[in-house]
Amino acid sequence: MRAVVQRVSEASVTVDGNVTGTIGKGLLVLLAVHRDDTDEQLRWMAEKLRKLRIFEDDEGKMNRSVEDVDGGMLIVSQFTLYGALKKGTRPSFTASAGPEKAEQMYDRMVALLEDAMPGRIQTGIFAAKMDVSLVNDGPVTIIVER
């Protein structure tokens, strides 16, 4: 499982002209599921995302999590994070989970986070063509992988 996590002051996802998810201060998470991922990795990633200390404390140090700052989380599926360019210039996505497994794991991730952070989780639409808008705060961007 791989996630690109961006600390944002705001972010939103639009599909076919309709906003499907929007947050203020929080984390935009672009999430990819690997073909070999397990529920253990899913739970690890959910915990890591909730506890990742990339928000500043009163002394300006990155010492607070999204939970600590009462922020939101916008979770967007993005299988292209497993694109490989070992040969040529066209990416191969063979490491990405198939659509059925990826969607099931994506839905479970959203449910785990929603259970832990009720009312603060927003999403895109799995496998849709999405327009993602964000204001990166910092900028701070972290890659999390397990």
Q: Which of 20, 38, 41, 79 is catalytic?
A: 79
106: number of Cβ within 10 Å: 24
Residue 141 catalytic? no
DSSP string over 45-113: HHHHHHH---EE-TTS-EEE-TTTTT-EEEEEE-GGGG-B-SSSSSPB-TTBPPHHHHHHHHHHHHHHH
Residue 80 catalytic? yes
Q: Which of 80, 93, 123, 141 is catalytic?
A: 80
Q: Which of 6, 55, 78, 123 is catalytic?
A: 78
Residue 79 catalytic? yes
Catalytic residue list: 78-80
